[in-house]
Amino acid sequence: MTATPPSGPAPRAAQAPHAHPYIPNSAPEVKRAMLEAIGAAGVEDFYADIPEELRLRRPLDLPAPLRSEAQLVRHVGGLLARNTSTREVLSFLGAGCYPHHVPAVVDEVVNRSEFLTAYAGEPYEDHGRFQAMWEYQSLMAELLAAEVVNVPVYDGFQAAGTALRMAGRCTGRARVLAVSDTGPDKLSKVVDYLRPEHQLVTVPVRADGRADLDAVRAELAAGDVAAVWAEAPGYAGLVDEGLPELGELAHAAGALYVVGCNPASLGVLAPPSSYGADIACGDIQPLGIHMSYGGGNAGFVATQDDERLVAEFPTRLFGLVPTAVEGEYGFGDVAFERTSFAVREEGKEWVGTAAALHGIAAGVYLSLMGPHGMRELGETVLARTAYAKQRLADVPGVAIPHADAVHFADFPVRFTGSRTAGEVNAALRERGIFGGAVRTDRDPREALYCVTETHTADDIDLLADTLKEIAQ
Amino acid sequence: MSAPKPATEPTREEARIAPKPPLRRFHQARWDEQLIFELGTPGERGISVPAPEPEVREAVGDPAAALPAALRRSTPPALPELGQQQVLRHYLRLSQENLGADLNIDVGQGTCTMKYSPKVNDTFTRDPRVAALHPLQDASTVQGVLEILHRLEGLLKEISGMDRVSLQPAAGSSAIWTNVAMIRAYFAARGEAEERDEVITTSFSHPSNAACAKTAGYRVITLPPDADGYPDIEALRAAAGPRTAALLITNPEDTGIYNPRIAEFVRIVHEAGGLCAYDQANANGILGITRAREAGFDLCHFNLHKTFSTPHACGGPAAGACGVTEALAPYLPSPTVEFDGTDYRLEADRAESIGSVRPFYGVIPNLVRAYAWIMSLGAEGLRETAEIAVLNNNYLLAKVSAIHGVSVPYAQGRPRLEQVRYSWERLHDDTGVHSEEIGLRAADFGTHYWTSHHPYLVPEPMTLEPTESYSRADLDEYAAILTEVAREAYEDTGTVRTAPHRSTVHRTKEDTLESPATWAVTWRAYRRKILGESV
């Protein structure tokens, strides 16, 4: 219930009685004095270079402002009241955005004004963010068993696109093989991102959900492949036993091996570098970043400290350096001349504002978790995923494709009864449960369900029991 | 317990506190903090993780055992082990060693539009009805956030004059990329993709315009500034032709000078059959004054973390918005948010769309903030934002121009809009002090500045953008700091050249960053390469 109907017009506001709180010099007397101080008749003087035909000689047609904070809170609160958050229901949605617990300390740190509102200062007045970001790179490097991790890119999609273009530049070859089950949106982004330089060839997975090694071998035969791109786990959560062999195939054909991975799994699953990946990439949203309706992403790209690979990173890489004072840590940009900041279009792809604060969040998260926390996280998610698969497999009208495989967080569910996955979801919603993400790209009877450490055995039992009522 | 009574009563004079000196005697926090890897002791824990219940363990055993050994982690990651408060303390110390825009008069980060990011808007993003929404929830359960996205698109359509706006791009450069991808798709649909393989931009437009175009496969032509600092229109005439896909241009450019012939630029490119994309990173001084539509642009983009107040977050998450005319609308990223008069929904079935440019629908927390910010101002407030930003800039221009050693290149006697690219060339010639060094000395007074993008077309550059957020007193203080540092440069050169002196750390030895043998991007690499440890 709100005074401001969310969909209706905002209330008429009275004429501005005083300076806007966000604009101190809008106080009429201040404005007058400033104009006088510089000998200007009015602000119109400053717009003299804008031709009349380009001037908008009417006010913008916008809703009346909500100048008081109280009004604004009420208005936005009214809109937010029309959302149902996953805290109010039991949600089994994952598929690229994961409901992990976000420790309170992570929120405390990233909401600090000094971090939240900083931008691009030097490594002196902004020493803190340089150190926090370098520590993020270093913590991720331990998790990934890599020596170089970048300042975050926008998201895991971008990370995959950049990792593959890096591989393309390194090898000078045209084709890239996508060999795992990759989500349709990620594939769409990567295809479009590579298009100017590379052809992305999708090698369909086998009926058992694993990469088709024979087909990959055949595609590699021509010797024109820049990279074999696998995902661990794939879009449907499957951990493919063939991952190490894919690396061998890639290397034998002179291609680089690029592996996308879920960093939350790496306390129990091997880091890609250990089974041959030249470049690892992925999204750090699972590491302490809120889902925010899909707004909480940041991507990483990681390699060993190989000069040829480092030279191909488009992003900033912070480095540790001595200062003029003994025992002081300084920071700066490694090999800055790679970047478009330094040399515009002669740089690698581009660099710009991306997702730095999420990197700091992930750094705080990994510091809190430590080696044991990451292992326990991985074990719990693996165990809960396996348990959910077992419980759901027992439900009449439900089948678990690729049930023999190991799944992490996501797993596929197929509804064999009278209802599609979407219809099952509608019935679940009435009972306070958000079912899995429907695979509209593939089969309306299939959905990806997801469990993490935030789901208890009781939650999973409740899902199974509820599906018994509706899935047939 | 009270102190023993003094023999004589203290005088009022003794109780009087002297007024503050004209410049603050700042010193930044200096915790001399270790690296996180040097902290903690094995066995300490920062947070507990739920363990699987006994019935779960019993039912599933160890699922990882089904994997080949090569896919199971054999050695735990060498992450630090700290108690929770120790982790918190470490990061709070680092935060104190960082100068956020909330704490300094941040007019020195020109082109970045450092404005106040209202605290109330942060409260919306922390609400679970934003933070704990999953992007694949049924539309019926997210009508509020979809309505915000739809309304924000409507506001930005009116502010830009464009027909549709996508809120999906992750940041400014991501929005530039999105525009270039749409341009490419537009010409591909017309069978002209091969022929139109050139993109034109300008020296004073953000480097990402050139870099995104190159990444998209275009040959890049960069128009240099003419003698007055405007992009050279003759160079444009020479460049535009059948190979032109698009012009990517900023106006005002990073000099703060508005190009009055912008409509002619657009006309020249249109006549050559190309499209025009307006990089509106510098929109803060022209909100409600002039729009992309009236200048004839086909596409534009805004940086919501600049003009529309969302926090800069150490370099993102940010948010971008791409506006297009009807002709380009089919190519917008998917999904779009549609409203049928009753319900809001996501529309992904769009055959000509360039597809996803990032996961899901955009950087939602920043879209919520931007919506709230615009709603707190309305049309009149946006115009006031622009006018005061421009007034502040011209006020600061008058003050800074009076500093010995500063000059203001180009377009002499013309006003500037929201920012100015200054030059310390004269001061450098006189004293040998570089612009970067003046910026570092400014840090000793609790602020800082940024020079310019590369290459430095303006020698010894300094770019100041005093947005509407700063009071007259703020601007006076900032100008006083620059005045003092310039005086020092002439009279006490050594102090400036060895700055900072009151910062967290001292001058770094940067040359190690350029050599593969000594650069150290991670603790793991530092230990192996510099300390000679086996890791």
Decide if B198 is inside a domain: yes
Q: Assign residue A231 the CATH number of its domain.
A: 3.40.640.10
Instruction: Specify whether A295 is located in the same domain as A279.
Output: yes
Q: CATH no. for residue B172?
A: 3.40.640.10
**Residue B75 maps to a domain:** no
A132 contacts in B (CB within 8 Å)? 91, 94, 98
pLDDT category at A76 given cuts 50, 70, 90 is very high
pLDDT digit string, tens, across residues A424-442: 999 999 999 999 999 988 8
For residues A348 and A339, the answer to whether their CB atoms sit within 8 Å is yes
Looking at residue B5, its pLDDT comes to 74
Give the domain range for residue A464.
90-98+371-470
In a domain, A466, yes or no: yes
- Say if A130 falls within a structural domain: yes
Asked whether the beta carbons of residue B70 and residue A293 sit closer than 8 angstroms, the reply is no
Please tell me whether residues A347 and A376 are part of one structural domain: no
**B84/A105 CB distance under 8 A:** yes
Q: What is the pLDDT of residues A371-402, one digit of tens each?
A: 999 999 999 999 999 999 999 999 999 999 99
pLDDT at A451: 98
Does residue A337 carry a pLDDT above 80? yes
The answer for residues whose C-beta is within 8 angstroms of residue A69's C-beta and 6 or more apart is: A21, B120, B376
Is the pLDDT at A14 greater than 90, yes or no? no
Alpha helices in B74-127 (DSSP H): 84-96, 119-126
For range B392-421, the mean pLDDT: 96
- Flag whether A83 is in a domain: no
Q: Are strands B244-250 and B219-223 parallel, antiparallel or unpaired?
A: unpaired
B285 located within any domain: yes
Average pLDDT over residues A416-424: 96
What pLDDT score was predicted for residue B535? 80
Q: Judge if A142 and A290 occupy the same domain.
A: yes
Query: Could you tell me which chain B residue has the CA closest to the CA of A434?
Result: B137
> What gap in Å lies between CA B366 and CA B370, rounded to an integer?
6
Q: Are residues A380 and A461 in the same domain?
A: yes
Domain identity same for A268 and A406: no
pLDDT band per the 50, 70, 90 thresholds, residue A44: very high
Q: Does the residue A19 lie in any domain?
A: no
Tell which of A100, A235, A291, A367 to mutate to test the B interface (max B CBs under 10 Å).
A367
Closest residue in A to B123 (Cα) is A73
Angle subtended at Cα B184 by Cα B179 and Cα B188, rounded to the nearest 5 degrees: 145
Over residues B289-310, the pLDDT tens digits come to: 999 999 999 999 999 999 999 9
The answer to whether residues A144 and A236 belong to one domain is yes
Residues A315 and A443 in one domain: no
* Residue A145 and residue A282 in one domain: yes
A8, pLDDT greater than 50? no
One-letter amino acid for residue B509 of the chain: K
Tokens 């250990």: give the residue. Answer: A274
Name the residue among A72, A128, A147 with its Cβ closest to that of B120. A72
Confidence of residue A64 (pLDDT cuts 50, 70, 90): very high
A7 has a pLDDT exceeding 50:
no
Assign A366 to helix, strand or coil: helix
Asked if the structure places residue B453 within a domain, the reply is no
Let me know if residue B313 belongs to a domain.
yes
Beta strands A433-434 and A90-91, pairing class: parallel
| Domain-terminating residue out of A365, A391, A420 | A365
Shortest distance, CA B491 to any CA of chain A (angstroms): 24
Q: Is the pLDDT of residue A4 over 60?
A: no
Give the residue from A25, A34, A139 with the most B CB atoms within 10 Å of its CB, the best one to mutate: A25
Q: Are A53 and A142 in a shared domain?
A: no
Q: Are strands A225-232 and A238-239 parallel, antiparallel or unpaired?
A: unpaired
- pLDDT value at residue A297: 96
In a domain, B348, yes or no: yes
Q: Chain A contact for B111, CB < 8 A? A: no
Whether pLDDT at B336 is above 90: yes
Residues of A in contact with B410 (CB under 8 A): none
What is the arithmetic mean of pLDDT over A239-243?
98
What pLDDT sits at residue B8?
A: 87
Summarised one tens digit per residue, pLDDT across range B444-501 is 999 999 999 999 999 999 999 999 999 999 999 999 999 999 999 999 999 999 999 9
Which of A301, A334, A365 marks a domain boundary? A365
In terms of residue numbers, what domain contains B348? 122-376
Residue A324 inside a domain? The answer is yes
Among A331, A365, A399, the domain-final residue is: A365
Domain count, chain B: 1
CA distance A156 to A95: 13
Residue B82 is assigned to a structural domain of this protein: no
Q: Does ipTM come in above 0.90? A: yes
Tell whether B65 is within 8 A of chain A (Cβ).
Answer: no
| Structural tokens at position A300 | 């990483």
Let me know if residue A81 belongs to a domain. no
Residues A280, A188 within the same domain: yes
Does B175 reside within a domain? yes
Q: Does residue A449 share a domain with residue A388?
A: yes
- Count the domains in chain A: 3
Q: Within A339-444, where are the H helices? A: 340-343, 356-393, 421-430
Q: What is the pLDDT of residue A17?
A: 61
Is A318 within the bounds of a domain?
Answer: yes
In whole angstroms, give the CA distance from residue A360 to residue A116: 10
CATH of the domain at A381: 3.90.1150.10
What confidence score (pLDDT) does residue A2 get?
Answer: 37
Apex CA B493: angle with CA B490 and CA B497, to 5°?
A: 135
Residue A60 belongs to a domain: yes
Q: Are residues A350 and A388 in the same domain?
A: no
